Structure 1
Amino acid sequence: MRSVLIFYLCYLLCLGLGLACVVGVCVWNSWWRGGFAWDGSSHQFNWHPVLMVTGLVVLYGNGAVVYRIPLTWGQNKLPWKLLHAALMLLSLILSIVGLCAVFDFHNSNNTPNLYSLHSWIGIAATALFAMQWVVGMAGFLLPCSPISLRELLKPVHVWLGGSILLLSIAASISGINEKLFFALKGNQSYAMLPSEAVLGNTLGVLIVAFGLVVLKILANSEWQRPDSSPEDLAYSPVL
Structure 2
Amino acid sequence: MVMDGYRGFLGLLVSALLVGFLSVLFTLIWVLHYREGLGWNGAGPEFNWHPVLMVTGFVYIQGIAIIVYRLPWTWKCSKLLMKSIHAGLNAIAAVLAIISLVAVFDFHNHSKIPNMYSLHSWVGLTAVILYILQLLLGVFIFLLPWAPLSLRALLMPIHVYSGLLIFGAVIATTLMGVTEKLIFALPTKYKLFPPEGIFTNTLGLLILVFGALIFWIVTRPQWKRPKEPNSSLLQPNGGTAEGMEGSMAINVSNMDKSDSELNSEAAARKRNFILDEAGQRSTM
User: Shorter-chain TM-score: which interval?
Assistant: over 0.9
Structure of greater relative contact order (alpha carbons < 8 Å, 6+ residues apart): 1
Please name the residue that 2:168 is paired with. 166
Matching residue of 2:24: 22
- What's the counterpart of residue 205 of structure 1? 205
Change (3 A) 1:34 1:236: farther
User: Is 1:216 paired with 2:216?
Assistant: yes
Which residue in the other structure is 2:103 paired with? Answer: 101
In the alignment, is the contact (CA less than 8 A) between 1:89 and 1:133 conserved in 2?
yes
Between the aligned partners of 1:2 and 1:63, the Cα distance in structure 2 is 22
Q: What amino acid is aligned across from residue 19 of structure 2 in structure 1?
A: L
Match of 1:152 in 2: 154
Conserved? CA contact 2:182–2:190, under 8 Å: yes
Aligned residues between the structures: 234
Aligned-CA RMSD value? 1.4
CA separation in 2, counterparts of 1:192 and 1:147?
59
Partner residue in 2 for 1:235: 234
- The alignment partner of 1:230 has SS state of coil
SS in 1 for 2:178: helix
Q: Does 1:137 align with 2:139?
A: yes
Task: Report deviation, 1:55.
Answer: 0.9
Distance, in Å, in 2 between the alignment partners of 1:36 and 1:198 is 22
Structure 2 gaps of 5+ residues are: 237-284
> Residues 192 and 104 from structure 1, CA distance in 2 versus in 1: closer, same or farther, beyond 3 angstroms?
same
Q: Is the Cα–Cα contact under 8 Å of residues 59 and 88 in structure 1 kept in the other structure?
A: yes
TM-superposed deviation, 1:228: 4.3
- Report if the CA contact (8 A) 2:148-2:235 is conserved: no
TM score, norm. by length of structure 1: 0.94
| Alpha-carbon displacement from aligned partner over 1:99-151 (angstroms, at most 9, x marks no partner) | 11000100111111110011111111111100100000000111212222221
Unaligned runs of 5+ in 1: none
Cα pair distance change 1:127/1:110, threshold 3 Å: same
> TM-score with structure 2 length normalisation?
0.80
Amino acid at match of 2:196: E
Give yes or no for the alignment of 1:40 onto 2:42.
yes
Alpha-carbon deviations, 1:177-223, whole Å to 9, x = none?
A: 0000110144xx10111110011100000000000000001111111
Spell out, residue by residue over 1:23-65, the C-alpha distance to the aligned partner (whole angstroms, 9 max, x if none): 0001100111021111110111000010111111111011110
Larger Rg: 2
The residue number in structure 1 matching 2:194 is: 194
